[in-house]
């Protein structure tokens, strides 16, 4: 195209001869060539434009046909975000250590409405409102008729309710299969299990997710499709749990306490065999977690006192001071300690109820009578730094590692600074708060020969191996002291014949929210170990604000009168269940034995 | 007395502008476009309400805005369609210069409207998307260069337009906006095709594309997954496509009824990329078929009218404009019915968007101007002065 055209020389010469302008000829020539080229281009373009038009027409027709084909298909039901029906039957069961069911799934139905299929909305609204008192007729009718095509009525129906809804007989009422979480034992172990509710919902199925307790803490394990058929085995023993809750509940009523907690733990493995907190709730129908304004969230039945409750546990801490002092070689059980007076700065340490235990007592006697002054002197011998290190090594100053979602939130309260006065008060469990579960683990560590125990709800077959906190001989001495407290000290009501119980009482004034302490509100704790000749179990019983008279005339709010008898009753009932054989002390001959049943 | 002066302009029997415009314009196509715009407003009433409620605005805020921009677009369309091909060419070339400058300025002063791409310029409170205006202007420039190349002793227009195409594509890909890049490349190819690309070249390019497709399918996991997902007859109901398919099925032949649709509440792009799903759900196949027919009318009629056109510039520019307009609509709807792999693209005149609708008005206005019936050949050929 860019080639310069040859001039038709003959015509140009001819034109020149005639005196005409030869450029015109050249231009005419160019025009003709251009014309030919353009006609060719038009012909080609015409063909190609035809191809383009046909292609577009075919493409649009294809889209139209495809659209028509799709329109004639039946649509699927509205899908849940999580999609497929595979979310059904996925949550593992939870069983106790013997394989008894604690939590399982049950097939039920949800109720939903496709308004387009509904024949008689006013009648359906009327009948549904009659069936389910929580639904209002006007509201239902408004929702049926405001133009939406789909709405949920209820998440779950009982079989009777389902039949009743079925009998209404309207085609717009539809049932969606649902797996619901069922806790067949009701309130039993409610705080451990927590509860579950629906996550993503679709018509065909809904996802179950844990909302509290172990259901939430191990949610991923329970939802893991690979382990769907494998139940989650807990350390809880259903019979022990039931016994503990029954005795604890009776004790709480009798002592008129506002709450109570109990823990039974294996000292070797840290397995929790039973753990209860009262008041409790039914995980099948979890109460609302919203606390009324001004109310203490710790008074909600959802509150797990054994794990979340952070209390001053009082004199139960004294054994830790004694054990550490013996471990450090500062004292032995018979070392005489000053019990006459103790003054730190301006603060004077006194005994409970103004008792006076004389000028000196041995370490074992100090535990037996629970002397604050004597324990304070021992603590001063140990010193602040070593005391903190020891309490930390027992796990008393950190949140419990147990497998409950609530556990990490319950951080023990400890003073920011640790002067001598704190060293002294901490030695008898004041000015420092921890949870009953932490106390159970610490007692287990002291009683099992000195190996640190971390509490668990998941089965652990072997004894804890790990950090040694005290030597076996010190452990032996400490357990003997605890036995002495029960035999002749402050906890005699826990001395169940044949099971050689040892333990320590603790009574602490409750701290006021604004600072200082209440004079009339206490927390009573008993920390027990049995059998003392070969420690196997730790039992903690805590009573929150007992105000009863325990049968006597005056209000008896020391642990010896509240937590201890409850613990004694528990051991009396639970030890046989655990297969422990009582050591029958043959009564000396010629003595009359009173048999009471 | 008639005064005859040598060399004076020949007096033309001047017909008034509007009647001549009305006589020569493609009335069918123009009507189709206006109906499309009306349908767009109607669907906006349904599809943009969720967007407005998400942004806490008056429910019909976006409809009002779209009506305003749409009227502007209609004015632009009418005004442009009254121009002569020369005017169109000038307008296109100037517009191309401005649009390219704006495109180049984007990395520095552009805005990201939350899709991870810098596509918008903010001028006096209005957001503009230069790439929308670039498309029709680019077609004009390319057609101009290609047409010039067809002249004897013309410039090397094909090479020049190819260079421009590549530069513009790179700028668009940088944003990144692969949809517009594809449209630009497609526009150039169509013009080259109509201008007479050698058949050998076309076949070898098609072969190369197929080969490249196979190679990337075998070598690239990402590419292979996307193609597999597209070829898989089971559509994931949670994907955008899944919801769109479900909406089309819900709609059936006559739709679920005005305002009864659900998909617009679920899909974030219901008012733009998936507007056809909203149309299918609420009004059914009937409206979708009407939309398809209207688009088809505009494109096929324009292309057929262009077969009569003797002026190469008008022919090339017209076919380029008609094809990018058509392909954009085709891709948008093809994605919704799963004939094409997912690619975000607006449906001209129907989707919500100020820049989109005004640029569509400009595109169709230019197209209508170029497809007007003009004296073809006979007289001007005889007198040897063709308009170019």
Structure tokens at A235: 């350390």
Q: What is the three-class DSSP state of A273?
A: strand
Structure tokens at B183: 């449209």
Q: What is the reported pLDDT for B23?
A: 87
Q: How far apart are CA A261 and CA B384, in angstroms?
A: 109
Which runs of consecutive H residues, i.e. helices, occur in A301-449?
A: 318-327, 363-369, 372-382, 384-393, 420-427, 436-447
Test B150 with A30 for CB contact under 8 angstroms: no
Q: Which residues of A touch B265 (CB under 8 A)?
A: none
Test B330 with A4 for CB contact under 8 angstroms: no
* Per-chain mean pLDDT for chain B: 83
Q: What is the reported pLDDT for A80?
A: 41
Q: How far apart are CA B197 and CA B103, in angstroms?
A: 29
Q: What is the reported pLDDT for B312?
A: 87
Is the pLDDT reported for residue A85 higher than 50? Answer: no
Q: Which residues of B touch A45 (CB under 8 A)?
A: 194-196, 306-307, 312, 315, 319
Q: What is the mean pLDDT of residues B230-248?
A: 72
Task: State the first-to-last Cα distance of chain A, in angstroms, to the nearest integer.
Answer: 124
Is the pLDDT reported for residue B192 higher than 70? Answer: yes
Sequence-separated (6 or more) residues with CB below 8 Å from residue A445 = A394, A395, A451, A452, A453, A469, A470
Of A224, A264, A235, which Cα lies nearest the Cα of A98? A235
Q: How far is CA B324 from CA B201, B277, B317, in A?
A: 22, 22, 11
State whether residue B249 sits within 8 Å of chain A by CB.
yes
pLDDT bucket at A292, cuts 50 / 70 / 90: low
Test B299 with A62 for CB contact under 8 angstroms: no
Q: How far apart are CA B155 and CA B33, in angstroms?
A: 36
Provide Rg for chain B, Cα atoms. 23
A407, A418 contact by CB (below 8 A): no
Q: What is the reported pLDDT for B293?
A: 93
Test B292 with A64 for CB contact under 8 angstroms: yes
Class of the A94-233 domain?
alpha beta
Among candidates A48, A53, A67 on the partner chain, residue whose Cβ is nearest the Cβ of B193 = A48
pLDDT bucket at B228, cuts 50 / 70 / 90: confident
B11 burial (CB, 10 Å; 0-12 / 13-18 / 19+) is exposed
pLDDT in tens, A148-172: 777 888 877 888 888 888 888 888 8
Q: Choosing among B160, B337, B381, which should be mutated to test the A contact, i.e. which has the most A CBs within 10 A?
A: B337
Pairing of strands A232-233, A94-95: parallel
Q: What is the reported pLDDT for B386?
A: 44
Q: What is the reported pLDDT for B89?
A: 92
Of B42, B106, B255, B92, which Cα lies nearest the Cα of A71? B255
Given the residues A315, A370, A475, A550, select the one marked as catalytic. A315
Q: What is the mean pLDDT of residues A214-243?
A: 85
Q: What is the reported pLDDT for A201?
A: 65
The interface residues of chain B toward chain A in range 47-106, judged by CB-CB distance below 8 A, are none
Q: How far apart are CA A548 and CA A254, in angstroms?
A: 7
State whether residue A2 sits within 8 Å of chain B by CB.
yes
State whether residue A59 sits within 8 Å of chain B by CB.
yes
DSSP 8-state secondary structure symbol assigned to residue A552: S
Pairing of strands B118-123, B126-128: antiparallel
Q: What is the mean pLDDT of residues A381-397?
A: 88
A60-64, A314-318, B118-122, B169-173: which has the minimum mean pLDDT?
Answer: B118-122
Q: What is the reported pLDDT for B12?
A: 56
Test A1 with B153 for CB contact under 8 angstroms: yes
pLDDT bucket at A78, cuts 50 / 70 / 90: very low
Query: Does the CA dihedral B207-B209-B212-B218 come out positive or negative?
Result: negative
Work out the minimum CA distance from B44 to partner chain A, whole angstroms.
19
Q: What is the reported pLDDT for A152?
A: 80
Q: How far apart are CA A571 and CA B75, in angstroms?
A: 93
A374, A366 contact by CB (below 8 A): yes
pLDDT bucket at B319, cuts 50 / 70 / 90: very high
Q: Which residues of B124-160 are buried (b: 16+ CB within 10 A; e: fewer)?
A: eeeebbbbbbbbbbbbbbbbbbbbbbbbeeeeebbeb
**Annotation says A71 is catalytic:** no
Query: Does the CA dihedral A550-A556-A561-A563 come out positive or negative?
Result: positive
Pairing of strands A173-182, A101-114: antiparallel
State whether residue B321 sits within 8 Å of chain A by CB.
no
Q: How far is CA A350 from CA A345, A347, A376, A425, A490, in A?
A: 14, 9, 10, 11, 17
Is the pLDDT reported for residue B75 higher than 50? Answer: yes
State whether residue B370 sits within 8 Å of chain A by CB.
no
Q: What is the reported pLDDT for B235?
A: 64
Q: What is the reported pLDDT for B138?
A: 94
Pairing of strands A517-530, A537-544: antiparallel
Q: What is the reported pLDDT for B241?
A: 76
pLDDT in tens, B93-111: 999 999 999 888 887 777 6
Name residue, tokens 């409207």. Answer: B113
Task: Name the helix (H) or strand (E) containing B231.
Answer: helix B221-231
For chain A, give every domain's residue range: 1-38, 94-233, 239-291+305-577
B24 burial (CB, 10 Å; 0-12 / 13-18 / 19+) is middle
Q: Which residues of A touch B323 (CB under 8 A)?
A: 52, 56
Q: What is the reported pLDDT for B289?
A: 92
Query: Which has the higher per-residue pLDDT, B118 or A460?
Result: A460
Is the pLDDT reported for residue B269 higher than 50? Answer: yes
State whether residue A66 sits within 8 Å of chain B by CB.
yes
Q: What is the reported pLDDT for A203?
A: 64
pLDDT in tens, A98-140: 888 888 888 888 888 888 788 888 888 888 888 888 888 888 8
Q: What is the reported pLDDT for B3?
A: 56
Phi, psi of A307 (to 5 degrees): -110, -45
Q: How far apart are CA B75 and CA A408, in angstroms?
A: 68
Q: What is the reported pLDDT for A241?
A: 92
Q: Which residues of B touch A203 (CB under 8 A)?
A: none
Q: Is the ipTM of this complex over 0.95?
A: no
Name residue, tokens 């047409």. Answer: B147
Is the pLDDT reported for residue B6 higher than 70? Answer: no
The fraction of chain A above a pLDDT of 90, given in percent, is 10
Q: What is the reported pLDDT for B236?
A: 62
The fraction of chain A above a pLDDT of 70, given in percent, is 89
Is the pLDDT reported for residue B61 higher than 50? Answer: yes
B63: region left, alpha or beta (phi > 0 left; psi from -120 to 50 alpha): alpha
Q: How many CB atoms lie within 10 A of CB A496?
A: 22
Q: What is the reported pLDDT for A40?
A: 85
Among candidates B150, B193, B337 on the partner chain, residue whose Cβ is nearest the Cβ of A41 = B150
For chain B, give every domain's residue range: 26-371
Test B154 with A45 for CB contact under 8 angstroms: no
Q: Which residues of A49-59 are buried (b: 16+ CB within 10 A; e: fewer)?
A: beebbeebeeb
Select, from the ranges A10-14, A168-172, B81-85, B242-246, the one with the highest average predicted confidence (pLDDT): B81-85
Q: What is the reported pLDDT for B388?
A: 40
pLDDT in tens, A474-515: 899 889 888 988 888 888 888 888 888 899 988 888 777 767
Work out the minimum CA distance from B261 to partner chain A, whole angstroms.
9
Test B194 with A48 for CB contact under 8 angstroms: yes
Is the pLDDT reported for residue A472 higher than 70? Answer: yes
Is the pLDDT reported for residue B384 higher than 60? Answer: no
Among candidates A42, A52, A59 on the partner chain, residue whose Cβ is nearest the Cβ of B310 = A42
Query: Does the CA dihedral A152-A154-A159-A162 come out positive or negative?
Result: negative
Of B171, B29, B2, B169, which Cα lies nearest the Cα of B103? B171
Q: How far apart are CA A322 and CA B226, in angstroms?
A: 71
Test B315 with A45 for CB contact under 8 angstroms: yes
* Per-chain mean pLDDT for chain A: 82
pLDDT in tens, A408-448: 888 888 888 888 888 888 888 888 888 899 999 999 999 98
SS3 content of chain B, % helix, strand, coil (to 5): 70, 5, 30
pLDDT in tens, B143-173: 999 998 887 777 888 899 999 999 999 888 8
Among candidates A34, A46, A57 on the partner chain, residue whose Cβ is nearest the Cβ of B296 = A57
Of A190, A194, A236, which Cα lies nearest the Cα of A213? A194
A141-145, B233-237, B288-292: which has the minimum mean pLDDT?
Answer: B233-237
Q: What is the reported pLDDT for B374?
A: 80
Arch. (CATH architecture) of A239-291+305-577? 3-Layer(aba) Sandwich (3.40)
Q: What is the reported pLDDT for B112?
A: 67
Task: State the first-to-last Cα distance of chain B, in angstroms, to the nearest integer.
Answer: 35
Q: What is the reported pLDDT for A81?
A: 39
Q: What is the reported pLDDT for A6?
A: 57
B266, B237 contact by CB (below 8 A): no
Q: What is the reported pLDDT for A79?
A: 44
Query: Does the CA dihedral A166-A172-A176-A180 come out positive or negative?
Result: negative
């Amino acid at each position: 195209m860019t080639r310069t055209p040859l001039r038709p020389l003959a015509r140009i010469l001819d034109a020149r001869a005639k005196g005409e302008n030869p450029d015109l000829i050249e231009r005419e020539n160019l025009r003709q060539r251009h014309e030919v080229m353009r006609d060719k281009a038009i012909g080609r373009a015409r063909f190609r434009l035809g191809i383009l038009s046909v292609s577009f027409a075919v493409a649009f027709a294809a889209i139209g046909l495809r659209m028509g084909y799709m329109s004639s298909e039946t649509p699927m039901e509205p899908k849940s975000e999580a999609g497929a029906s595979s979310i059904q039957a996925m949550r593992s069961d939870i069983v106790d250590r013997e394989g008894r069911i604690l939590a399982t799934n049950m097939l039920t139905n949800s109720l939903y409405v496709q308004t387009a299929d509904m024949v008689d909305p006013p009648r359906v609204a009327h009948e549904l409102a009659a069936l389910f008192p929580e639904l209002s007729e006007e509201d239902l009718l408004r929702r049926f008729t405001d133009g939406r095509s789909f709405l949920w009525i209820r998440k779950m129906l009982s079989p009777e309710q389902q039949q009743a809804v079925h009998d209404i007989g309207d085609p717009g009422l539809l049932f969606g299969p649902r797996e619901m979480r069922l806790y067949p034992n009701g309130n039993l172990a409610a705080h451990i299990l927590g509860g579950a509710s629906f996550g993503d919902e679709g018509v065909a199925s809904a996802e179950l997710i844990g909302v509290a307790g172990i259901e939430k803490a191990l949610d991923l394990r329970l939802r893991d499709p690979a382990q769907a058929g494998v139940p989650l085995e807990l350390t809880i023993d259903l019979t022990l749990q039931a016994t503990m809750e029954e005795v604890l509940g009776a004790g709480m009523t009798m002592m008129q306490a506002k709450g109570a907690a109990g823990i039974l733990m294996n000292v070797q493995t840290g397995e929790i065999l039973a753990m209860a907190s009262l008041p409790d709730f039914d995980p099948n129908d979890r109460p609302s977690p919203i606390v009324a304004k001004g109310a203490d969230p710790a008074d909600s039945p959802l509150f797990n006192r054994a794990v979340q409750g952070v209390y001053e546990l009082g004199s139960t801490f004294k054994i830790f001071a004694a054990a550490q002092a013996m471990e450090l070689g500062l004292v032995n059980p018979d070392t005489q300690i000053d019990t006459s007076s103790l003054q730190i700065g301006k603060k004077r340490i006194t005994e409970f109820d103004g008792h006076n235990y004389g000028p000196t007592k041995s370490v074992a006697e100090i535990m037996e009578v629970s002397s604050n002054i004597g324990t304070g002197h021992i603590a001063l011998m140990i010193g602040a730094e070593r005391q903190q290190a020891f309490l930390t090594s027992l796990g008393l100053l950190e949140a419990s590692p147990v497998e409950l979602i609530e556990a990490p939130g319950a951080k023990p309260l400890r003073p920011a600074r640790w002067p001598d006065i704190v060293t002294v008060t901490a030695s008898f469990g004041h000015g420092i708060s921890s949870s009953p579960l932490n106390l159970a683990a610490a007692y287990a560590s002291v009683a099992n020969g000195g190996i640190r125990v971390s509490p668990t709800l998941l089965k652990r077959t072997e004894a804890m191996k790990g950090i040694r906190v005290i030597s076996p001989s010190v452990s032996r001495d400490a357990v003997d002291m605890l036995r002495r407290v029960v035999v002749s000290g402050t906890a005699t009501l826990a001395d169940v014949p044949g099971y050689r119980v040892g333990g320590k009482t603790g009574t602490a004034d409750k701290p006021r929210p604004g600072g200082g302490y209440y004079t009339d509100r206490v927390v009573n704790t008993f920390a027990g170990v049995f059998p003392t000749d070969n420690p196997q179990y730790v039992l903690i019983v805590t009573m929150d604000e007992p105000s009863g008279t325990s049968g006597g005339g005056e209000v008896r709010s020391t642990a010896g009168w509240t937590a201890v008898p409850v613990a004694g009753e528990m051991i009396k009932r639970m030890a046989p269940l655990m297969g422990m054989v009582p050591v029958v002390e043959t009564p000396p001959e010629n003595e009359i034995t009173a048999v009471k049943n | 007395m008639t005064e005859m002066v040598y060399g004076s302009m020949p007096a033309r029997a001047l017909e008034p502008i509007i009647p001549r415009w009305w006589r020569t314009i493609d009335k069918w196509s123009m009507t189709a476009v206006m109906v499309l715009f009306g349908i767009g407003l109607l669907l906006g009433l349904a599809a943009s309400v969720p967007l407005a409620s998400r942004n806490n605005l008056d429910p019909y805020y976006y409809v009002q805005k779209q009506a305003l921009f749409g009227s502007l677009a209609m004015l632009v369309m009418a005004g442009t369609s009254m121009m002569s091909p020369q005017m169109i060419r000038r307008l296109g070339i100037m517009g191309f210069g401005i649009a390219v400058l704006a495109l180049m300025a984007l990395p520095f002063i552009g805005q990201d409207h939350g899709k991870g791409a810098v596509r918008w310029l903010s001028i006096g409170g209005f957001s503009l998307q230069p790439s929308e205006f670039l498309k029709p202007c680019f077609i004009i420039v390319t057609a101009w260069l290609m047409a010039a190349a067809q002249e004897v002793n013309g410039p090397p227009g094909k090479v020049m337009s190819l260079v421009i195409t590549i530069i513009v594509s790179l700028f668009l890909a940088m944003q990144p906006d692969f949809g517009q890049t594809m449209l630009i490349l497609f526009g150039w190819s169509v013009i080259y095709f109509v201008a007479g690309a050698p058949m050998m070249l076309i076949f070898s390019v098609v072969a190369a594309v197929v080969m490249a497709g196979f190679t990337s399918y075998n070598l690239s996991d990402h590419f292979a997954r996307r193609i597999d997902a597209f070829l898989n007859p089971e559509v994931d109901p949670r994907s955008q496509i899944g919801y769109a398919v479900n909406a089309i099925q819900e709609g059936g032949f006559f739709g679920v009824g005005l305002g009864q649709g659900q998909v617009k509440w679920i899909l974030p792009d219901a008012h733009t990329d998936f507007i056809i799903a909203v149309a299918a759900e609420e009004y059914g196949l009937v409206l979708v078929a009407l939309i398809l027919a209207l688009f088809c009318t505009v494109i096929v009629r324009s292309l057929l009218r262009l077969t009569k056109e003797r002026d190469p510039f008008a022919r090339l520019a017209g076919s380029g404009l008609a094809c990018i307009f058509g392909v954009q609509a085709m891709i948008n709807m093809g994605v919704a019915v799963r004939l094409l792999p997912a690619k975000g693209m607006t449906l001209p005149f129907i989707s919500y968007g100020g820049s989109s609708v005004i640029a569509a008005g400009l595109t169709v206005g230019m197209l209508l101007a170029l497809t007007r019936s003009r004296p073809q050949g006979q007289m001007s050929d005889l007198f040897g002065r063709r308009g170019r």
